[in-house]
A and B are shown apart, each in its own frame.
Chain A
């Protein structure tokens, strides 16, 4: 541990580690030095000049954001000279800035407004006409209004450094400087909107949100993104029961300030015109609306008939439903209906990893550890496309900690640019590629291995064996696709494993086997679309589907029950790193029920006593009974993300049973098809994700 640096700020002694900036040192003792361009985690700019402070023996004011604390340094932030400088900078920033805060999209959450309030410059001495240029649309979701821009370059830096994209730059010079897309007049980028969130003023605004409401008129509901498995916290802005926006400006949750376009914009599926709002039953060959009472009666009757006759029931669970729903569904299936035929679309071989790790502590990495790891190996995944938060974390690890990155993929990926080694392999050769790096990996002090569905079945055990042979601490992340893919496996939506990967005496049918079965009496599909590739439902089976939309599977159903989305319910979900987080309902939609409600109502009609079907009761049962989930309820309830505890698995998937859907940044399975914003931005001109 290097010796601490002791300095004085406003008469208070501060001790900080060498290399600490004065602006950060001041924060440690509660002294806030104002700044626009300084942004923790990004490169330094020194452009806005808001953070000028007096330093003893320095002939002029110094920027606290670029000044490294030195032993014996005496800093003052409370002198008339400093106050005057701050007032002057606010005045300069306001000379060309429109003073129309009441109609500005950022009004109420604008840092310039706050700064003028704190330090300013209420009256303008500026008599000249303000410099004006018209607003521009950089993309369907990113708008730029130059007159409001204070040129702090946060957007340019977060795009280049945080995202690794570099789609924004500066054109012109002097007072005519502008932020502009680096490729002509349109953005070619991830459309993540990080530039919008990071903009301290109303210069960059969101095409989804702008001018729809005022920040103080919304409720801000922090929940977990409904799309991929990374588990980003998104704060949904809700106005009159509508989701107006998603953002994470408070940098809370395991994603910090990160959100991709799905978490930020793609909540529009909630109100897609094709959203199901009433149960549908097949009458004369066509699906027609029926009441919930009729629908539940019909479902219960068909299930009861099958149970009584001993006809096989097959149940396919979801990658999106909550842990509570998944747990209750498997309990309903196994204890209530006595069926073993339970599975879900497996997108990564988590069971195999659990079996290979055998319950050893510290076998799985958290998202935070992807930022602190000394070395990371990515095998068989284009993280920037499929797991943008993991990509962000690893990139930050490389930028801030010079982490060593190794990449083994079939094609080029963004990580190539900063990887120590990038290997291109043919399909199926991923594990061999990883093993070929043995000599280099052995020299690393520690390693996190992130692997996709290319490594599954017995290969996962071989991967862990290889990791053990390196004689360094190795942690793993088994990539899965969707918001609760991991929870589906953890809760035992598997034919051969119960909750917590506990082996079952006798395995049931897998997803593929259920679809191929000749004698299935009931096929019950919850939030999944197994028939999307043109597959046929088992002939003769009564097909019951719970979903938000009339998917290919729902179209083939005999009964469709409209389900609530993740943004309409409480419960917990588990992300790709096994971190459990809590959902909070943002809106409610009439006509739909949560999957848990549906299970509870059916259980009741079937006369089954499975305990109360409420998220709270089921969560308590999970925490009490499911291996790995003995987590403190109070912390979970408070919104903390908690990694599940190690469990020893008992089986791996068979090769072929695991297949990632291969979504990109602009697709997201069923939800993505009904999130119009994703197609709109993907179709905008730009070649970054073409060919």
Chain B
């Protein structure tokens, strides 16, 4: 959700138009230096554009944190085949709701970012793959695309440059797996949403087998500011190797949940205490999932942490998609783990053995544990099942399920033990009186 005013600690780069009236319109966009970055890019060579993006230290905002400029540089030059730009707007990671605000309040930023990417790799068309639940955003995006076409930013011979490029939206159909880039491409091609064998990677063989740049919505939205102010200026906003700002979606047991744009490397505890107003009702912080539900959980004492890709990785978790899920002392960690695994069991595409069977198994065992049917060996079974999945599944979805399972049971083992031998959940009572 969007608060009426940005928090004073926020650095509004990508979100700077969010609170302007009619911010999604091309008039407002153009009045606030919209498409200036693209005009600038038209005067640059593809190499120069990619160089600027490299300088910005922009890393993929979808979760993996791969350097964007480097990714673009993998796209082969001068091939006879068409090339594509694809925006991943299948924002499906639980705890993550930033891309939808970008598309709702500033759709032209996404279009401009994709245009610049298209120019950088000499693509001829782009697709925005929007999760099915975001149907209302497709209308906003389609309107914005129409506006951009009307002003000559899309279509044939864009701004007299001789370059043709057009954009299309495409709706997902309710599958988390289609946020995985290769499954997204399969789905976009009209096929079953299961991942592809890689290599080859999309940069060389992506959509319809053609070279493709595929980035998250937020990543594309960061590109116009980079071209406008220079890569170095964007990089300086963050920490070394982690350029710019990040949209953090803070949810859970805080007083002021919401999406906040903060510099990379912002301290997690400060984020919770100062930006999100602290843990609700003066309760104590128990745990935080720092980057969406697939990331290993952190205990409260591990949360004094700079929120950039490298620092969170050193702490044993991941910055992921920037979905910060805060849990206070009343949270049952067994229940939380069971709920997360129920999600992954529901969303596993079922293509490979360990993910299909492992997620379902973990979900069932954790549910039973929470309901009081736990056996002492179940704790080891959860750990070993998760370990048997980790790094062995076809795509990262298996890891996304295994990592939380493993971290919950390892970091909060005492709570799992408290559920054994038919004892009721120690937290149900607390919750009932809350």
Please list the residues of chain A having a beta carbon within 8 angstroms of any beta carbon in chain B.
44-50, 52, 59-61, 66, 84-85, 88-89, 91-93, 95-96, 125-128, 131, 150-151, 169-170, 172-177
Contacts and interface: CB of A to CB of B under 8 A. Distances in A.
Interface in B389-420: 391-394
A88 B365 contact: no
Contact of A49 (B350, B352, B360): B352
Contacts of B197: 44-46, 66
Nearest to A170: B192
A96 B357 contact: yes
A126 B348 CA distance: 19
Contacts of B368: 127-128
| Pairs A-B, 7 closest by C-beta atoms | A177-B350, A88-B388, A60-B391, A92-B357, A175-B360, A174-B348, A128-B364
B346 interface: yes
B416 to A, nearest CB: 16
B351 A175 contact: no
B348 A46 contact: no
Nearest to B380: A125
Interface in B144-198: 175, 177, 192, 197
Nearest to A68: B199
Contacts of B393: 49
B354 A88 contact: yes
Interface string B334-359: 00000000000111111111101111
A93 B375 contact: no
A49 B361 contact: no
Contact of B350 (A60, A127, A176): A176
B356 A48 contact: no
Nearest to B364: A128
A49 B398 CA distance: 12
A88 B361 CA distance: 13
Contact of B357 (A59, A93, A172): A93
B388 A91 contact: yes
11 contacts: A49-B353, A49-B354, A49-B393, A85-B388, A85-B392, A89-B353, A95-B357, A96-B357, A125-B381, A127-B368, A177-B350
A174 B391 contact: no
Contacts of A173: 175, 177, 347-350
Contacts of B281: none
Contact of A169 (B192, B347, B381): B192
Chain B: interface residue count, which band? 20 to 34
B377 interface: yes
A433 to B, nearest CB: 33
B353 A93 contact: yes
Q: Which residue among A45, A92, A176 has the maximum number of chain B CB atoms within 10 Å of its CB?
A: A92
A92 B175 CA distance: 23
Contacts of B359: 174-175
B360 A46 contact: no
A47 B353 contact: yes
B-side interface mostly: helix
A175 B357 contact: yes
Interface string B30-57: 0000000000000000000000000000
Contacts of B358: 92
Given A47-B394, A49-B393, A175-B345, A95 B361 contact: yes
Contacts of A177: 349-351, 356
A123 to B, nearest CB: 12
Q: Which residue among B175, B349, B352 has the maximum number of chain A CB atoms within 10 Å of its CB?
A: B352
Given A89-B392, A174-B349, A175-B356, 6 more contacts: A88-B354, A92-B354, A128-B361, A131-B360, A175-B350, A177-B356
A127 B392 contact: no
A89 B354 contact: yes
Given A48-B353, A88-B354, A125-B377, A174 B345 contact: yes
Nearest to A66: B197
A85 B365 CA distance: 21
A167 to B, nearest CB: 15
Nearest to B390: A60
Contacts of A60: 391-392
A125 B357 CA distance: 13
Contacts of B353: 47-50, 89, 92-93, 150-151
A173 B192 CA distance: 10
A126 B381 CA distance: 9
Contact of A127 (B348, B356, B375): B375
A232 B81 CA distance: 42
A61 B361 contact: no
B391 A46 contact: no
A131 B361 CA distance: 11
Contact of A174 (B350, B365, B375, B394): B350
A173 B388 CA distance: 21
A66 B196 CA distance: 11
Q: Which residue among B349, B353, B360, B365 has the maximum number of chain A CB atoms within 10 Å of its CB?
A: B353
A47 B351 contact: yes
Given A47-B351, A49-B392, A174 B361 contact: no
A172 B192 contact: no
B352 A174 contact: no
Contacts of A176: 350
A128 B357 CA distance: 12
B311 to A, nearest CB: 20
A95 B345 CA distance: 14
Contacts of B192: 169-170
B389 to A, nearest CB: 8
A314 B357 CA distance: 70
A111 to B, nearest CB: 14
Contacts of A170: 192, 350
Nearest to A92: B357
A169 B191 CA distance: 11
